[in-house]
Homo-oligomer: A and B are copies of this chain.
Amino acid sequence: MKEHTVTIYDISEKAGVSIATVSRVLNNSSNVSENTRKKVLAAIKETGYTPNAFARGLGLNTMKTIGILTADSSDLYLAKAIYYFEEELRENGYDSLLCCTGYELKDKKAAIDLLISKKVDGIILVGSHFVYPDACDNKYIYGASEKVPVMLLNAEVEGDNIYCVSSDDHDSVYRATMKLVESGHKNVLYYYNTTSYSGHLKERGFRDAMKDAGIEVTERQFQFFDGSNEDIHGMSAQLEKAASAGLKFDAVIASDDTLALSAVKYAQAKGYNIPDDFSVIGYNNSMLTNCCDPEITSIDNKVETLCKHLTSILLGVLSGEEMPKKTVFKADIIEKGTTRLNKD
């Protein structure tokens, strides 16, 4: 008794109609008499028939799938973004093909090619790591955009069929730095772990604020942490090392909540009183900010808002509408226990 997967032919036979009619009821297509529709639906229910997605894909040239690329789906921030994308897309009938690429350019290229060969309808690049300072390294994005719309979260690339949604990182770090300075901090350390596009913007924000505040900065104030995203120990240790090498700082502004948390741990190990002796500002306003005591003041770049907007733009593009190529949101500074910022 060979298992015969039920096809549209079986249904047509059982219902006593042609396959075209079956297809019509399947697609809620125009003009099917209530009577035959019922017959067909009955046959479908009886057999448990489901249309073959490949055949359908072949005919329609789409399987309603969006490729989501991210360096690391287990990163707190990226994971959140993926979550929102997946949710929004599915609510609109699209599935998500996920690719975690790591941080190597060649792996990103490979993943994007693979997604395109699998005929995704669009591609979302989650996180600023996909855009490189050297324009040449961004060619692969243009390549992809020739085939399908490419959406960037927290990054910016100009081009046909490329759409960007981001948070104004320069502005938010600028404002945060200013507040720190205005509340009396002279020696602010900038602690970062990414040299991506948005990473540069953040750093720029810091530099510009210091400049506008008339405070000289030295390169030692810029601490780059080059290790795992989860290595809180290592992060604290680096601050400790910098301090014992003579670097003075009474505040840290971090490009990421993890770094901020490590700064809190560092300061507490030193016996500093937060926020009186020492201030910290993080980035992303993730749950990590609530994990220590006092809780961490952090920049909230509203990932949910960004993701929902990005998705709606993508859906618009896919249905042929004209959509904005670039959308920028302002971030909020969420003040908690690691700062005492004078004014608003």
Contacts and interface: CB of A to CB of B under 8 A. Distances in A.
Contacts of A258: 287
Contact of A293 (B61, B96, B230, B265): B265
A72 B63 contact: no
A288 interface: yes
Contacts of A95: 97, 99, 114, 118
B116 A290 contact: no
A98 B100 contact: no
Residues of A in contact with B, size category: 35 or more
Given A63-B118, A72-B83, A265-B293, 4 more contacts: A50-B116, A54-B54, A57-B57, A58-B58
A129 B269 CA distance: 39
A74 B82 contact: yes
27 contacts: A50-B116, A52-B119, A53-B118, A54-B57, A55-B58, A57-B57, A68-B98, A72-B83, A73-B82, A73-B86, A76-B76, A76-B79, A82-B98, A83-B100, A86-B100, A87-B100, A95-B99, A95-B114, A96-B97, A97-B98, A230-B287, A232-B290, A232-B291, A261-B291, A268-B293, A291-B292, A292-B292
Interface string A154-176: 00000000000000000000000
A148 to B, nearest CB: 13
Contacts of A287: 230, 232, 258
A80 interface: yes
A343 interface: no
B61 A54 contact: yes
A90 interface: yes
Contact of A54 (B58, B76, B233): B58
Interface string A40-58: 0000000000111111011
Contact of A50 (B117, B230, B232, B291): B117
Contacts of A61: 54
A286 to B, nearest CB: 8
7 smallest CB-CB distances across A and B, nearest first, come from A54-B57, A74-B83, A291-B291, A79-B79, A230-B287, A54-B58, A74-B79
A257 to B, nearest CB: 10
Residue of A54, A79, A100 with most chain B CB atoms under a 10 A cut-off: A54
A96 B114 CA distance: 12
Contacts of A265: 293
Residue of A86, A95, A265 with most chain B CB atoms under a 10 A cut-off: A95
B80 A74 contact: yes
Nearest to A261: B291
A198 to B, nearest CB: 20
Interface in A60-92: 61, 63, 65, 68, 72-74, 76, 79-80, 82-83, 86-87, 90
A107 to B, nearest CB: 10
A272 to B, nearest CB: 13
A119 B54 contact: yes
A112 to B, nearest CB: 12
A8 B65 CA distance: 24
Contacts of A51: 117
Given A74-B82, A87-B100, A268-B293, A52 B58 contact: yes
